[in-house]
């Protein structure tokens, strides 16, 4: 299965919460932490699910301040 990659910067204290939310989002995305100190997280999104992943990120913006780069 092909996936798209979304690179994120988040506060390091929010990495666990971000992982938990995407684990609970039933196949919308899988997170991988690249650098804890910098808050760099990669979100692997199944092909065709990017819009849904961005909606999840938008809906949790009040809890987790994330920046896509």
Domain containing 16 — which CATH number? 3.30.70
Interval 11-41: pLDDT, tens: 999 999 999 999 999 889 999 999 999 999 9
Judge whether residue 47 has pLDDT over 80: yes
Domain count, the chain: 1
**H helices within 1-69, ranges in order?**
15-23, 50-59
**pLDDT number for residue 1:** 72
Q: Is residue 34 classed as helix, strand or coil in its secondary structure?
A: strand
- Residue 51: which pLDDT band, with cuts at 50, 70 and 90? very high
**pLDDT number for residue 6:** 97
Judge whether residue 48 has pLDDT over 80: yes
Which residues form the domain of 62? 3-68
- If one counts every other C-beta atom within 10 angstroms of the C-beta of residue 18, the result is 24
């Amino acid at each position: 299965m092909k996936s798209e990659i979304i690179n994120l910067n988040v506060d390091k204290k929010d990495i666990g919460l971000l992982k938990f939310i995407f684990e609970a989002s039933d196949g919308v995305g899988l997170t991988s932490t690249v650098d804890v100190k910098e808050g760099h997280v990669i979100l692997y999104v199944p092909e065709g699910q990017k819009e849904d992943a961005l909606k999840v990120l938008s809906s949790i913006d009040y809890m987790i301040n994330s920046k896509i780069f």
